[in-house]
């Protein structure tokens, strides 16, 4: 019987602790990437000038980290299924629609949660967009989220997975511990302000 080459899981690892540390590292990296993306849009695309795009003080947006983890949970294994030909394009199309839908739902839920907890949501409203819902979500950003999800699942996450596996256990423990502490302290200051 011929053994098939087993493809690596996005967050498979030695122990449950190591797995959690890798997942937290992914979360943090995507929080930072989300912040960079938002700043890029603000400064380069819209030419509004720089402002901290996050609700926290540091250069990270937790909503992007949450979205990335949800993408991994929803589509990570599906993306790894080896398919060829037209079925591959169907897979990519379904992942695009799934990412678009999931990200839009997360953004909508986040606007309601932020409005309930602090009175408003800190990102731009979409009232000026042609197709929007209460200025909370809009078609154009949803399409960008779908495209970003494809980039994330097919290109960036496999690279991060390979890099994370090369980090020694002790270094990963220290790194994720420090990053978690920094974000926790930042979150406490956010709640106190």
Q: How far, in Å, are 14, 28, 145, 191 from residue 17 at the CA level?
A: 8, 16, 30, 28
What is Dmax (Cα atoms) for the chain? 64
User: What is the per-residue pLDDT for 30?
Assistant: 93
User: What is the per-residue pLDDT for 57?
Assistant: 77
User: What is the per-residue pLDDT for 13?
Assistant: 44
pLDDT below 70 — which residues of the chain? 1-14, 49-54, 121-123
Nearest to 38 by CA among 108, 149, 110, 141: 141
Distance CA 46, CA 44 (A): 6
């Amino acid at each position: 019987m011929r053994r098939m080459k087993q493809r690596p899981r996005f967050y498979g690892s030695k122990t449950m602790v190591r797995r959690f540390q890798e997942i937290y590292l992914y979360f943090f990296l995507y929080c930072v990437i989300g912040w960079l993306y938002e700043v890029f849009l603000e400064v380069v695309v819209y030419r509004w000038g720089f402002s901290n795009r996050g609700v926290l003080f540091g250069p990270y947006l937790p909503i992007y980290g949450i979205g990335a983890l949800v993408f991994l949970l929803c589509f990570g294994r599906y993306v790894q299924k080896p398919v060829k030909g037209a079925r591959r394009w169907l897979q990519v199309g379904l992942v695009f629609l799934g990412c678009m839908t999931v990200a839009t739902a997360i953004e909508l839920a986040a606007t309601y949660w932020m409005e309930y907890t602090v009175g408003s949501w800190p990102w731009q409203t979409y009232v000026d967009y042609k197709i929007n819902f209460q200025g909370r979500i809009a078609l154009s950003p949803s399409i960008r989220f779908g495209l970003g999800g494809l980039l994330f699942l097919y290109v960036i996450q496999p690279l991060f997975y390979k890099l994370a596996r090369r980090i020694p256990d002790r270094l990963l423990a220290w790194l994720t511990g420090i990053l978690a502490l920094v974000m926790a302290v930042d979150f406490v200051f956010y709640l106190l302000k």
